[in-house]
Structure 1
């Protein structure tokens, strides 16, 4: 990856809807080489996809919690089943496996406290291998969806 590829990525992080013509102009390439580089960045996984960033409150998801998960079973099968089950819960918008204790950090959204409590009791607490859940409520978002420093 060279400096031009990084410029392309930086521009796309700023504006994922930029036209190919405008992108080429911003990174000072002609259209064909810019398009070729863009397709290569997509093919090699540097660009994982394109999406709209939706405001959670605008769609009624005004409650957010960080949930720490400590596993009581950590064999390969249980961990795999736990991680697969997480991917099937749409309210889990971010999940990270950690070194040390706790084992996982989840970012969870819900409509309100009651909806979160139902999710917590009915889905999260029943996931394979879960030993303990600890949650904390998000008071305010300070940094979100920040572009990578290229």
Structure 2
């Protein structure tokens, strides 16, 4: 990964819909070398996909919470069952395993507080191996969906 690859990544993080011609112009390469570098970044896994960033509020998901999970037991099968169950909940936007206590951090969206409460009671509280759930509400995003630094 050299400076030119970093420029390509930076431009694509800002606007993933750039045409190859626009991308080449922005990074100062001709079309063929830019295309070759882009394909190599995709092949290597540095770029693993393209997607639209959707505004949650615009689609009716106006409520966001962070849920901290402390596990009762952390044997391999329990952790695996927990992680598979969490991955099957569409409202969980992010799930991160942490060192120390708590064991996991979940970022969750829902339409409103009653919808979150139902999700909490019916799905989150019944996840395998959970000892304790603690949640806090997101007041505002200060830094959100920031591109990776170049």
Task: State TM-score, norm by structure 1.
Answer: 0.98
1:83 maps to 2:83: yes
Give the corresponding residue for 2:149. 149
Give the corresponding residue for 2:123. 123
Q: Secondary structure in 2 aligned to 1:102?
A: coil
Shift in Å at residue 84 of structure 1?
1.0
Give the corresponding residue for 2:135. 135
1:41 maps to 2:56: no
1:126-145 deviation per Cα after TM superposition (whole angstroms, max 9, x unaligned): 11111100000111111100
- Specify every segment of 5 or more residues in structure 2 that has no aligned partner in the other structure, as ranges: none
Q: Spell out the pairing of 1:18-29 with structure 2 (5 A cutoff).
A: 18-29=18-29
Cα separation, 2, equivalents of 1:13 and 1:104: 28
Give the length in aligned residue pairs: 150
Task: State TM-score, norm by structure 2.
Answer: 0.98
Cα separation, 2, equivalents of 1:133 and 1:42: 38
Cα separation, 1, equivalents of 2:119 and 2:53: 24
- Specify every segment of 5 or more residues in structure 1 that has no aligned partner in the other structure, as ranges: none
Shift in Å at residue 73 of structure 1?
1.1
Give the corresponding residue for 2:92. 92
Cα separation, 2, equivalents of 1:41 and 1:84: 29
Shift in Å at residue 65 of structure 1?
0.3
